[in-house]
Amino acid sequence: MQPIRYVIVGNGAAGVTAAETIRQHDSVGEITIISAEPFPMYSRPGLAYVFLNEISKEQVFARQPEWYQQMRLNLLFGKAVSLDVDRQAVQLEDGRILPYDRLLIATGARAVPPPYAGADLKGVHYLDTLAGTKELMKQAKRRRRAVVVGGGITALEMTEGLAHHGVDTHYFLRRDRLWGKVFNDTEAKILEGRMRQQHVHIHYNTEAVEILGDRRGRVRAVRLKDGKEFKCNLVGIAIGVRPSIDLVKDTPIETDRAILVDETMQSSVRNVYAAGDCAQVYDPWTEQHMLDILWPSAVAEGHAVALNMVGKHRAYKKGSPFNACLLFGLHISTMGQINPRRDEDEPEIHQYLSRGSSEVWYTYPRHYASAWAEEGDNTIRLVMDGDYLVGALLVGDQTIADPLRYIIENRVNFREIHSDFSIGGLALKRSVQRFWSKSNQSQAESYLNP
């Protein structure tokens, strides 16, 4: 029998996990990974730590070239530009044609440019790719005043990085609340306090409508909605991402916001699969196809798609989306469905999903109740659907993060501690801990109180 030819477009978390998993199950198949970026795989979330000088640029590479050789993965640098699903072949920009038996599209998502004039001026930056991050770091050394626009983690990471580089950093908020799609007022205030300690200026209800340049094509200011100009020489943009699905544009492959896949991660066309940021996957919580821009989701999907590509039909069940991050020294974790409201009047551009988030977080098929506790800079927010926990957000103390995640993912009946939800502060935390250790006995004890 001929070895199966697997072609994977994209060398990120989803593509590389898939390649590795395929190799574990098929020792003879020919596996080719096409990468538009001329590097071995690097950690995209790690770019924020490169920018903060917490790691070197070399350290961000999660795989070395030798690893590809050991795994017998053929890594090709080049951009896939067209796809012929009848002849089962992918064409690269340089003309090379790669026939496939199974194709995985794992092209990820890219930052969207601002919807107003001035996006191509020198001094407009994104925290999106390794090349872009290197350029941003070079410019941060020279620039004195920066404006950051955008509402999610990436915007905050960019703000933190710029402040760390000693740039006079101004963060523009369209409304009056930080990370408004996820945080409530108290959570936002805590993070704002941390940002101020690091000398970030937060401008509420402030919206840029144009980036202005000088004669040499460099940023000199942004124009605000009220017509005023705000002087700056660097603009950081992180208003969201758009799945990279150009490759399937002229094919019958069905798309919505991203490539639609069934429970085997296959697209509407046979032998073409998708995973990671460019795939829209059925979500059992919201009963819709949902987009996650999350590393763990990309890894889980990469793993699941590989099993199906090697012929081990395994239905993929999307887990509850989870993210843990560290912003301005504050640990924050987000899981399940947590947003108390959705802004129906948001203009489309602001509906782009930001990196490190999931649509599931903002989608409310039913009416939910919530519980809340705060104690200094530590907060707990629980979202309940009847007797079940469907979402949680923790700021600061993360002791109960894993138990909560387990309770959500496994739909553990939570009714027992319903009556404790009106109590606040540490009592709520203890109540969750007690509930958890009771259902897990000694094993959980050692886990929670090491």
Partner 1 sequence: MAKESFFRTLFKSASQDADQDDQQADLAKVGCVVPDASRCVQCGVCGYNCPVGIQVRDYAHRGLPVDDPRCITCGNCINVCPRGTLRWETQAHELLKDRFLLTADLQV
Ligand X SMILES: Cc1cc2nc3c(=O)[nH]c(=O)nc-3n(C[C@H](O)[C@H](O)[C@H](O)COP(=O)(O)OP(=O)(O)OC[C@H]3O[C@@H](n4cnc5c(N)ncnc54)[C@H](O)[C@@H]3O)c2cc1C
Among 2, 56, 419, 449, binds partner 1 (CB under 8 A): 56
Residue 44 sits in the site that holds ligand X (CB under 6 A) = yes
355 binds, among ligand X, partner 1, none (CB under 5 to 8 A by kind): ligand X
150 vs 403, which CB is nearer to ligand X?
150
338 vs 384, which CB is nearer to ligand X?
338
Residue 442 CB neighbours (<10 A): 8
The answer to whether residues 243 and 236 touch, using CB atoms and an 8 Å cutoff, is: no
Residue 6 sits in the site that holds ligand X (CB under 6 A) = no
> Which residue in this structure is represented by tokens 């060398």?
11
Enumerate residues 261-300 that contact ligand X by CB under 6 A.
Answer: 276-277, 293-296, 298
In the complex, least distance from residue 276 CB atom to ligand X, rounded to whole angstroms: 2
Query: Among the residues of 94-252, which ranges form H helices?
Result: 130-142, 153-164, 185-197
Residue 35 sits in the site that holds ligand X (CB under 6 A) = yes
Residue 355 sits in the site that holds ligand X (CB under 6 A) = yes
The answer to whether residues 76 and 35 touch, using CB atoms and an 8 Å cutoff, is: yes
Separation of alpha carbons 143 and 51, rounded Å: 15
Among 7, 31, 75, 106, binds ligand X (CB under 6 A): 106
Answer positive or negative: Cα dihedral of 155, 161, 164, 166: negative
Residue 447 sits in the site that holds partner 1 (CB under 8 A) = yes
Residue 34 sits in the site that holds ligand X (CB under 6 A) = yes
Residues 203-206: contacts with CB within 8 Å, 24+ apart? 203/170, 203/171, 203/172, 203/173, 204/173, 204/175, 204/176, 205/173, 205/174, 205/175, 205/176, 206/172, 206/173, 206/174
In the complex, least distance from residue 47 CB atom to ligand X, rounded to whole angstroms: 5
Among 3, 38, 59, 70, binds partner 1 (CB under 8 A): 59
The answer to whether residues 149 and 208 touch, using CB atoms and an 8 Å cutoff, is: yes
Pairing of strands 330-336, 388-395: antiparallel
Among 60, 80, 309, 371, binds ligand X (CB under 6 A): 80
Q: If we measure between CA atoms, which residue out of 230, 239, 232, 274 comes closest to residue 256? A: 274
Residue 21 sits in the site that holds ligand X (CB under 6 A) = no
Residue 346 CB neighbours (<10 A): 13
Residue 87 in tokens: 């002849």
String of contacts with partner 1 for each residue 243-262, x by CB under 8 A: --------------------
Range in contact with partner 1 (rule: CB under 8 A) among 161-169, 225-233, 241-249, 293-301: 293-301
Residue 209 sits in the site that holds partner 1 (CB under 8 A) = no
Among 8, 19, 31, 36, binds ligand X (CB under 6 A): 36
Among 153, 222, 290, 394, binds ligand X (CB under 6 A): 153
